Structures are given as structure tokens and as C-alpha cells.
Amino acid sequence: MIRHRLLTNAALALALAGAVAHADAVQNQQAGIETDGNATYGQKNAYGHHPATIECVIDAANRQGVPPNVLLGIASSEMGANGDRLTNTNKSQDLGHFGINTIHFEPGEPLAEAGIRPEDVATRGCYNAEVAAWLLRKHLNRKRGEGFWTWAANYHSTTPKNNAIYRKKLIRYSEQWGRWLKYRYPQVSIYQPPSSKGEQQ
């Protein structure tokens, strides 16, 4: 896979905030609302209030340097939908397609420090994918636990029991997405473990 520089917290905040502002400007212009004349409207409204597409999930994975099939596997494991705010037993909520937990928006957490808003993450599907890809990259870089799939499943939980349950689902979905992407998007690089026996599942 082509290596991509991981965005820092500040760079992520600026990039996503700018993209959201641009998406709002495009929507306002389409609705006939006056907007800043310096804005560029020729770009696709990627971060608008609509569900994520396969293409924008692949783009987010590539920008953040994570395997698209694993990011899509997370979406399938989370089973979220655009606009979802699913309440957990600990009163936190899982937002959008990728079930991004609101603990990431508590004071001192990177998303909170970056000024990223839960409302945008919940309702802007491609934005949700971008933040999910960034969180996945953090876990893959941290390498907490044994092997790639444990690191990837840390997206959901670092507790060994919960990680193991999630990991099984994630491997299955990621392999399914990998086969699908090879057929539909052959130019996309996917993660294929050298041997399923060589890693903890």
C-alpha cells in the first residue's frame, strides 16, 4: 500500500473543519443562500449531510494510510447508519456508520482538542469515515497487543475479551470486503495477512 503521512491532531482539525465549511457553503449555494465569494464550489460535496459512499471510505483509508478492506470491515462490524446516535450501557453514544464513541469527544481527547463536533461526525457520512480511518491508524501505530488484527480491533475495545469477540467479526468482514474490492476496485491495495495461522484470531 502507498504510504501516506498521518495527519496530526491540528492538521486533522483544520482539514476536516475546512471541508465541513466548504460542504456547508456548497449546500447553501445550491439552496440559493448567499455565501462567501472566495469559496471554491467546483469540488464534490464530499462531507455533506449524507451517507458515506464506498468511494469516500476508500479515499479516507488511503489518506490515512490504512487498508480500505479493514476500514470497510469496521463499518460492517459496527453496523451503524448515517445519523445514528446509539446509546451504550455506560451512557456514551456510538455515532454514524463507524460507531465512533462519544468518549473521544471528552475533554483532553484528541477529537475534542481538535474541535471536531459530534454532530458532524454523526450526520456527515464521509466525515465519519475520515475520522474512523484516523482513529484506526492511531491504533495500528500504537501496536498494543499481539498482531495486526488485535491492533485493528482495538478500534472497538482494548479489553482482551471484547477485543477477541470483535476481532473475529472484523477478520471475517475484512476478508469479504477484500474479495469484493479485488473484483470491483482492482487498483485498491488491501490487507492480506501472510498466514491466518501466524496471527491471533
pLDDT digits (tens, 9 = 90+) for 21-74: 444 444 434 333 333 333 222 345 678 889 999 999 999 999 999 999 999 999
Across 138-161, average pLDDT: 95
| Amino acid sitting at position 129 | A
pTM (two decimals): 0.78
CA quadruple 49, 55, 57, 62: dihedral positive or negative?
A: negative
- 103-114 pLDDT tens trace: 999 999 988 888
Across 9-15, average pLDDT: 49
- Confidence check: pLDDT of 17 > 80: no
Domain residue spans of the chain: 9-34+45-198
pLDDT of residue 33: 33
pLDDT of residue 199: 55
| Residue 143, all three cell numbers | 501496536
Across 115-138, average pLDDT: 95
Strand order in the sheet with 100-101: 85-87, 93-95, 100-101
Of 152 and 35, more confident: 152
95 and 126 in contact (C-beta within 8 Å)?
Answer: no
Looking at CATH, the fold of the domain delimited by 9-34+45-198 is given as: Lysozyme (1.10.530)
Across 7-32, average pLDDT: 47
Torsion of CA 17, 90, 82, 5, to 10 degrees: 40
Closest CA to 129 of 21, 49, 53: 53
Backbone angles phi, psi at 85, to 5 degrees: -140, 80
